[in-house]
Structure 1
Amino acid sequence: MAAKEEKKQNAIIETIKTVVYALLIAGVFRTLFFQPFWIPSGSMKETLLVGDFLFVNKMAYGYSYASCPSVILPRFGINIDAKNICGFLDGDNTRLFAGEPERGDVVVFRHPVSGRDYIKRVIGMPGDSIQMRGGVVLINGTPAPQEPAGFFEETMEPQGPEGRRPRCANGPVGDGGICRKARAIETLPGGRTHAVLDIGVQASDSTGVYQVPEGHYFFMGDNRDNSADSRLGPQIQGVGYVPLENLIGRADRIVFSSAGRSMLFFWTWRADRFFKAVE
């Protein structure tokens, strides 16, 4: 009996060791190479839809304190911020093996105040002047051309785990109706293009001039009228200028996408978005 009991205890110890090793390997992989990211909101439509699941390339821009993952599980009372783990690296706005993002990259970054992970597109580089005028972005005084390209359409219904409904350009739309937004193809300096959406005239369509500080970046969502981004300072529910050290990585490719309330509902997966490149 003693030998049998000892064998059982050894099996339990080996199982625990296997789990610990697996968690350590996953932690290293997530910290150094790729971080999973689940799109919770519609600020980057149509490039990214609510329910898109992707891996962020953390090697693209090198490493900083923000490369350490935050573990936030409110249901279990877990709130471990990256600064709790790697805060000793914070404060100098530098990176190890640093690589500079390119204008037009879709980037995951830490919000300068809240520390939450955001995903937006790089519009302004260090030293740039940025202004919105009539819904068109001016970069260093030159408008980024927008070519009208029809409409982006989606069904009016609760989207994602948060159950938010989309905003529409075609007025109030009941559940099950078609929600439309004007669509245009924007071309940034350097020639990169992407789709932007417009819901209607609002205050953020025309702004003063933003002067991007050295070592910082200016981000905007592609769904321009439904994005809290660098057009609003971080103290008023926006993002403001984002320091280099707050960048986490570049979004390169969608792995899969779920139109339902959970990524586990495989019957709601969008077949046309498997391994779709992020442009």
Structure 2
Amino acid sequence: MSVEAHPGPLQNMSLAMRAWNIRRKALLMGEVQGQGYIGQALGVADMLAVSYFHALDYRADDPEWEGRDRFYLSIGHYAIALYAVLMEAGILPEEELETYGMDDSRMPMSGMASYTPGMEITGGSLGQGLGIAVGAALGLKRKKSPAFVYNLMSDGELGEGSTWEAVMSGVQWQLDNLICIVDFNNQQADGPSRNALAVGAEAPKWAAFGWYAQEVDGNDIKALVAAFDAARALKDPRPRVIICNSTMCKGIDFLEQREMSHFIRVEADEWTKALTVLEEGKPE
């Protein structure tokens, strides 16, 4: 991580605290609109904390710094989670939180790169992010840049043919500067992912295509740190993938226990309740 990104005591904040802050900001944004893909945001908070405060090299005051690692959000409807971490990183001002999803806001409900500093691509239609990441990683290699490309995608995208074309291309071009993060929460618009085309054995499947594949608990920060470090340190001309088995609504027990679906409905009186529950679980 660039020292210029987080000077002083901010560097000492734990990753667990960063993840907690991301969850809190996401809930506050959801409360503004009374809706949002909050289940996904709560589920990926740990992955985003490790990405932005352990793995990525960037400069908060210069989001387009040429030497930065790129973070691509393939899943555009997860934008509420990315906005939360961009605020936590100091790339977006926290004062804009209450503008989420409003007219003229820099934080539309589905992410758009032309609107938001720090958002590298416009996510969706799903299945496109990894292909864009492959192109970017190839371009960086040809420029002899040491930067990495991280691509966060959903388990539902594993059913897209374009994803597997990108998987094969990454191997063909020996993109050892490409790290794909799969949020496997087993939910997509048509129901559980495992009832669709993601039928299990994801890591062996990617490995069979030639990727360095790891599978971890996506809500275990220590496991995520170890996996991210192993992916980046590997001395092998292969792209890397980390499959993160996550829990939607992680950290808010009454939402975790709700019948899961692609879009979790939160009633008007439950936003404050969720924030209270989160506060009770605040890291030391």
**TM-score normalised to structure 2 length:** 0.25
More strand by share: 1
Which of 1 and 2 has greater Rg?
Answer: 1
More helix by share: 2
**TM-score normalised to structure 1 length:** 0.26
